[in-house]
Amino acid sequence: MTRFDRITAILIQLQSKKIVTAQEIADRFEISLRTVYRDIRSLEEAGVPIVSEAGVGYSMMEGYRLPPVVFSKEEALSFITAEKLMDRFSDYSINKDYQSALFKVKAVLRNSEKESIERVGGRITVLPNSYVPDVNSTPLGKIMAGIESRTALSIKYLANHSLELSSRIVEPVGVFHQGQHWHMIAYCRLRKDYRDFRLDRIQKIENKEEKIGKTHPELKHS
C-alpha cells in the first residue's frame, strides 16, 4: 500500500467512528505511532478538519463528509460474499437493512465493478444445513436495536434444562454466534445476574422503552 492509499484509508477510518485512537490506526496498517502522527498532520495540512484530544483520540469535525468512496474490484467482490452470508445467518429485519445499504454501496461503484458483482453473484451459494436452524425467525434485529438504544427487553424464554416458559426483563449487552445458534448476553433482572440466552428459545420479545441504568455490576470480559 502506498502512502497516498494509506492516508486515504485513514481518512475513511476517521469517518467510520466517532473517536479513533492513534493505536487503532497503527494496528490496522502495521505502522508506528510516529508514522500515524505524520499522516494525520498531512491530512490536517490538506485542509481536513480533524479534532485531536490528548489521551482520547481523533475525530472529524461535525458535518464534514467525503465525496462518494471509490472501491477496488476486490472490495466490491467482497460485498457479494457478505450478502450471501447475511441472507443465511441474519434475521429478516437485519437482512432487509443490509440489502438497503448494499444498494447505496452499489450506486457508487464503477460499471466494471457492478458487472463483476453480477457475474460472480450467481456463482456463490451458501447451502442450507439441516443442523443449523433457520435464523430468519429469530429476534436478532430487535435485540440489536435494544443494544443500540440501551433499552431493556421483555422476553418469554424457554429454559433449556426445565423446558419451562418464563417471563424475563433483560438488559442486552451483546450477541454472538457459536456452533449452530445465535446467543444474547444480557443482565437478567429475575436472576440478578448475567445470563446467556439462546435466540431460538425466545418465544416473544418486546421493547420496554425503558433506558438501562447502572443498577448492576459491569460485565467482566475475560
Q: What is the pLDDT, as a whole number, of residue 114?
A: 80
Q: Write out the three cell numbers for 155.
A: 422476553
C-alpha dihedral, 85 to 89 to 92 to 94, nearest 10°: -70
Indicate yes or no: pTM above 0.85: no
Q: How far is CA 99 from CA 16, 80, 95, 106, 119, in A?
A: 19, 11, 6, 10, 18
User: Which residue in the block uniquely carries the three cell numbers 445465535?
Assistant: 182
Q: What CATH number was assigned to the domain covering residues 135-211?
A: 2.30.30
In CATH, the architecture of 3-60 is Orthogonal Bundle (1.10)
Going through 61-160 in order, the beta strands assigned E by DSSP cover: 151-158
- Per-residue pLDDT band for 215 (boundaries 50, 70, 90) equals low
Q: For the chain, give the percent of residues with pLDDT over 70.
A: 89
Of 25 and 5, the one with more pLDDT:
25
Indicate if the pLDDT at residue 222 is higher than 50. no
Please give the DSSP secondary-structure letter assigned to residue 49.
-
